[in-house]
Structure 1
Amino acid sequence: MIIPTSAVNTCIIDNNKIYAYGFKKLLSIKDLSNQVTHFDNGSEAIAHLRDPDNAQNLPDIIFLDLSMPVMDGWEFMKEFEEIKSQLGKKISVYILSSSIDSQDIDRAKNIPSISDYIFKPVDVQRLQEIFKDLQGIARQ
């Protein structure tokens, strides 16, 4: 069964509201995802993931910023690692950051749940590849 990429449930966790708005618009314009949830920090996203009322509406993919107030991307990943087996769904996580610090990149590579580290601003072709790969996984 082929799932249209626009049916991919996407989550962006980033406190930059302007960037998040532009990112959502880009996903919509390129017909990659029309279902986008936005959280300003990792704490809000973890609460959403843990809430049993959201079990049928979990994201297929998360784009995660590292630098945020309340709960940053690293803290989110620590919590996510603890709850991911209880979610009942594989969720792909991509770091989406402006940090070019090699320590951040290496740290991300050592977390199995992180699919890739992408630099802001995101490249449209790279996004299209990610959603195409995700669509292929959904078919299996």
Structure 2
Amino acid sequence: MNKVKIACVVDDDEIYTYTVTRIIARSEIAEKTIFFHNGRVALDFFVANAQKQDELPDLILLDINMPVLDGWQFLDEYVKLVPTMGKKITVFIVSSSIDEEDYARARAFDVVTRFIVKPLTVDHLHDILAQLPVQ
């Protein structure tokens, strides 16, 4: 099975990030995983590394409900960065929300591949990997 070099998780829930670390390890989808506890810290990372292809993740797993800069605010700024990035990055929203408005809002972002309702599973990650462009 192929794997991504770097997966990125943007989520403020410490229990979830602990759990997703174990799920990513068990699924063997990524060589490395980086974590950001809110959208602001993640966005700062992407701004600083936009031209550093080896530092950028192949995959972003993004929560929408976070402090400081939530997932929607992150996406509003991230889409402005995409044309300057040295790499195509696949974004999945991973949220506990079951609100149809959130699903519709996610579909409005061209950069969002899919909306996945938590909890994230090994099967979800294998499905995600199958949807990624060939590395």
For Structure 1 versus Structure 2, the TM-score category normalised by the shorter chain is: over 0.9
Q: RMSD of the TM alignment (CA)?
A: 1.7
Q: How does 1:66-81 map to 2 (within 5 A)?
A: 66-81=64-79
In the alignment, structure 1 segments of 5+ residues that lack a partner are: none
Matches of 1:85 and 1:57 in 2, distance apart?
Answer: 17
Contact 1:27 1:34 in 2 (8 A): no
5 Å-filtered alignment, 1:75-94, equals 75-94=73-92
Q: 2:45 aligns with which of 36, 48, 65?
A: 48
Q: Give me the whole-angstrom Cα distance separating, in 2, the residues matched to 1:79 and 1:115.
A: 17
Partner-residue secondary structure (3-state), 1:43 = helix
Question: How many aligned positions are there?
Answer: 134
Which residue of structure 2 lines up, in the alignment, with residue 21 of structure 1? 18
Give the TM-score, by structure 1 length.
0.89
Question: Which residue pairs with 1:10 in the alignment?
Answer: 7
Greater share of helix residues, 1 or 2? 1
What's the offset of the Cα at 1:36? 0.3
Partners of 2:123 and 2:26 lie apart in 1 by: 13
TM-score if structure 2 supplies the norm length? 0.92
Q: SS in structure 2 opposite 1:51? A: helix
Q: Percent identity?
A: 33
Secondary structure in 2 aligned to 1:138? coil
CA contact (8 A) 1:64 1:95 kept: yes
For residue 88 of structure 1, report the CA deviation from its aligned partner: 1.3
8 Å CA contact 1:95, 1:118 repeated in 2 = yes
Residue 98 of structure 1: how far off its partner (Å): 0.2
DSSP 3-state at the match of 1:36: strand
4+ runs deviating over 3 angstroms = none
SS at 2:30 equivalent: coil
Residues 37-91 of structure 1, C-alpha deviations (whole Å, 9 max, x = no match): 0000010001111114871210100000000000000000000001011111100
1:121 maps onto 2:119 in alignment: yes
